[in-house]
Structure 1
C-alpha cells in the first residue's frame, strides 16, 4: 500500500507541475502537434492515477486508508481539479487557434468574383460584476457564444463562465467545483438572481424619467436627451416589453424637457403638417431633433469662429486696482466682513438699521454698497413670517412681525432677523498636532467606493462626528466628474480673522467595500484642501490580536495619505453599527460601522518612519447664503 501511495504522490506532482509549466509556455511553441502530445501525455498520467486509486481501495482496509494523509488531504480530488483545468486549457487552445478557420469573404472587382480570406476581430465577452445594468448584454453574448455552442462540453462552459465573472457575481459560484454536472446549476443560479425583469424595467424607467431638462438650447444637450431616450427604449425591448404604442407618451415626456425655443419649433413643426388629426410618431420626433442638432452645431461653430476673430480687436479696457484688505469692509464697523454678517449692526434696533442703510445709499435687498435696490440682481426676499417683500431680513419692520409677543423688547426681532437671514452656522472641528517619538493620535479614516461616470473609484474619507457638514476636495470632484451647484458661503478659521470662500456644492454617492448593495448619498461643500496627510508619520502595524480578525474600513491606516472627503455627524449616525473594542491599554478604540471597523485613539509606536511633521488646527464655521443654485 505504501508503494502505491508513493506512486500516487508522484503522479500528483507530475500533473500539477506540468500544468504550472504549461501556463508559462511561449505562444510560438503552442502549435497543433505540441498541444496534441501534451493532451496525450496528460491522459496517460490521469489514467494511471485513477487505476492506482482504485487498487488502493481494493487492497486496503477502509480504516487504515482513511488514516493516511492521502485521504485526509484529498489528494485525489485536488488532482482531478488540476486535470480538468489542464485539459480544458489545452482544448481551448486547440479550438481557438487551429480548429477555427477564418471567415471566407467574397469580393467583386471589375465584374469578376474573387475569393479573399479576411480574419475578423475576436469577439470578446464582457465580464459581469453583478450590476443589473450589465446583465442583459452579458447574458445575450454568453448564450450566443458559449451556452449554445455545441462544440464545447459542460466543463469548458463552466470554466468560461467562471472566468468572466467578478465581484458579487463571482462570489455567488466561487466554491462550486468545475464539473460537467455543475454548469447547469451555476447558470440557473445566475439567471435566478439577476434575470429580474421587474427590477430591470424599474431601473430603465427611472433613468428615462430622470433625464435632466435643457435650460439653454445646445446641440450637446439635445444629443444626450435623444440618445438616452432611445437607449432606454431599446433596453426595454431587450427584456421583451412592447413599446411600439408608446410614441405619444414618450414624445410628451421628452418634449417637456426641451429648451423653450426648441419646444416652440417642435410645436410649429407639428402645426404645419398636412393632416392635423394624426398624432406625431417617435420617428418624426427623432428626425426633428436630429435636424435641430445639425443646425445648432453649424450655428455654434460659426459663433465660436466669430468670437475668436473679434477677440483680437481692440476694445477699451478698464483696470481697477484694489487693496486686499479693502475687499471685505463693513460700512458699519469698518471690519473685514460684509454688512449682512456684522454682529454690531444686527444688535441695533430696526429703526437705526433702516436709517443707516438709507443715509449711506446701501441696497435694501442685499445690503450691498455699490447699487440701489431697484438695480439689485439678487432674487432673495425677506424671510421673516413669510413676508416675501423686497428688503433684507435685518430691515424687516417691527410692526409687521407676527412671530413675537406684544410685550417683547426691541432686541427680540433683531435676533429673529439675524437667525432667519442666513442658515445656522455649520461647524466642522478638526485638530491635528505634532506627533511625539512615543506615538501619535489616530483619527477615524475609511476607504469608500465613490460613483463616477467612468465607474466606481476608491476615495479616502475622514469620519468626523464633530462636523455638521461634509466636505470634498476640488481634485476629488474633478476625478469623479461630479456636477457642481453654485452657492455662496464663507468659511472662517480659528478666531474668525481669516476667511475663505467655497463656491460650489456637489452631490456624491458612495458605498462600502464590504456591503456594495447599500448606497449613501450626501451633499458636500467643495474646498481646495481639507487637511494634511494622515497619519502624520508611518508606523508599523499595531500588535493587537483582536484587530487581526477585523475588516478594517481603512486597511492602510498606518500609512500617511491624503484626505479627499470629510464625512460629518449626519453620515456618522447612518453608518454606526453595534460593536466596540478596546485594546489592553485602553487608549485605542475600534468601532464597527457599515464601512468596516474604524480605529481612533493614541497608538504607541516604537518604530516610526521619519517624515516632515505638520501642524494644522482649524475650526470651520460656515455661514451659507443659499441662492438659486445652478448646475455648472
Structure 2
C-alpha cells in the first residue's frame, strides 16, 4: 500500500505536471531550416503540451498572446517572414490562426510548392528581389490528336474501355475479346504487355486486371493470365450449379475490425456509417462522399498525410462531428479529416462463419453484425480515437479468431487463408466436373495439418495426466507423438559431449566455478537426483548433453547450463523429434501490448526458475538423464532431471499451460479474472 501511495503522490501531482509542460514549452527547439519535417516537429511539440494543458483543465483559450509569441520566436526567419506577409495587421493573430498557418505551410512543402533550398538563410523580401515565376507541369504522353486511336471492337475514335458495345458484353466475353486481341489486361491497350503496365490493380479484388474484367463469382482471381483446365476422365454431373476449382497457396489474410457508428449531420440528424478501426493511423478520416452526404462543413486546417511507401497527400479537417454507437450508450465529439476514399470494400471477400463460434452475449452486441460481408468503408478510426474505445476485455472465439469489447460493441478480428487461383474451371448448368481420383470433399474442406493434430494431442494428454503433489506443485507428463522406444542409444554421445566441456572448463577456472555452482544448486534444490543402482535399464532412456552459456549482461545468473534435447541418438532421432510442441497458450503479443497500455499503472513480476517449479512425472524422468561429475578424477555419475527442462520442445507449453491451469483452478479467488487475462 505504501508503494501505491508513493506512485499516486508522484504521478498525480498536478502542480508538478503543469510545471513540467511549461518548462517543455519554454525549451522548444528553434527551427533552423525551413522544411516540412522541421515544422512538423515544432507543431507536434507545441500541440502535445497544449493538449496536455487542456487535459489538466488549464485556461488555454486565454493564452493566445504568449503562445503565439512563443511559436513565432521558434520559427525560422523565412517562415516568420511569410507569416508577416499573410497577417499584415496590427492585431496579434490568434493561436488557432497560427496553427492553421503552420498546417498550410507544411502542406505546401509536402506538395513541393516551396523549394526549401531556394529560401536560403536570408529572409525573403519581395520588395527588393527580382525573381522569375516558375511553373511546373505534369507531362503525360497522349496519342497524337491528329491520328486518334480507333476502338478495336467498333472502329470508332474512343478507347476500348469507353466503348458501349464492349461494355454491353458479359465479363467472360470481354475477357475472350481481350485475350484474342492480345491486349493488356490492365489498361486494355495494345501497345504494351501487362507486366510493363503501371495501371492500378482491380479495386474490387486487388488482382492485376481491369475492373471491367472482374468476375464477381470468383473469390480471388489469378494474378497472371488465366489458363484453362484440360478435361480428365471421370465426371461428376451437376445441376444448376457453378463451381470453381483453385490451387491455393498457404498464405494468410487478416480480417480487420469494422464497426457500425452514427454521425450527426449539419442539422443534428443521425446517419449510419461503417468504420474501419486502425490503430496504425495517427488521425481519423472520413470519405469525401460521406462528408458530402452528411453536408458537413470543413475548416481551413490542412494536414499532409504520409502513408505506406511514403505516398503523400493532403487532407482537410472537418468541423468537430458527434459520433454515437449503434447501442446508444456512447457519444463523443471527434475530429475527422477528409480523403477522397478510405479503402476498398472490407473484407475483400465473403467470410464463412461456420468455423467460428460467437457466444450469444457477444453476438447480440456486435459492432458490425455484417462484418463477414464485403461493404464500403466510410470512416477510418485512428489512434486518436482507437484506444479510447477499448475496454480491455478479449475472448478467443475460434482458431486465430478473437473478439474485443469496445464502446461501439464487440469487434471481431481473424486470420484467414487467402486463395490465389492458378487454375480456374467454371462449370455451369448441365456441365461436368473432371475429378480424376480426387475426393469431392477435398475441394471444400481444409485438411487438419499435422501441427494442429500435434497441438491437440499435447493439450489432450495434459488434461488427462496433470496433477499436483503434496506441496501443491504441478506434476506433468512429457507429451510424446512417438513412443520413446523409437530412440536409439544416446549415452556414448552424451559422454563424449561431457568430456569435451570438461576439457574446456579445465582451461577456464572462473567458468568452471560457475558451472559447478549451477549444478550444485540444481542438486540442492531437489531438481535432480542420482540414478539409483536399482533403476530398471530395460526401459527407454535418453541422456541430455549439456554445456555452459555465458551471458555477461544477465541481471540474475551470468552462467547457465543449457540442455540439448535435439542431440540425435543412434536411431537418428532426438528427444525433441518424438515430442509434441504443444499449442501457444498466451494471447498474441499485440493483444498483450494493447491491454498493457490501457492501464495507468502496471506492475510486472518474474517467476523465478519458472520451468523448474513444475515436476515431471516419475514415469518420464528416464527421458531426462544427464552425465555429470565435479572432478575429472571422479567416476561419471548419472542423474535424473526431475523438473521441466529448458531445451526440450514441450517446455514452453507445459510451463504456460500450468499457469493457465492455476488461473482456472483459482478462478473463484478475488481478482482472479485479472490474473487469468
Asked which structure has the greater RCO (Cα within 8 Å, sep 6+), the reply is 2
| TM-score, normalized by the shorter chain, greater than 0.5 | no
Higher helix share: 1
TM-score, with normalisation over the residues of structure 2?
Answer: 0.27
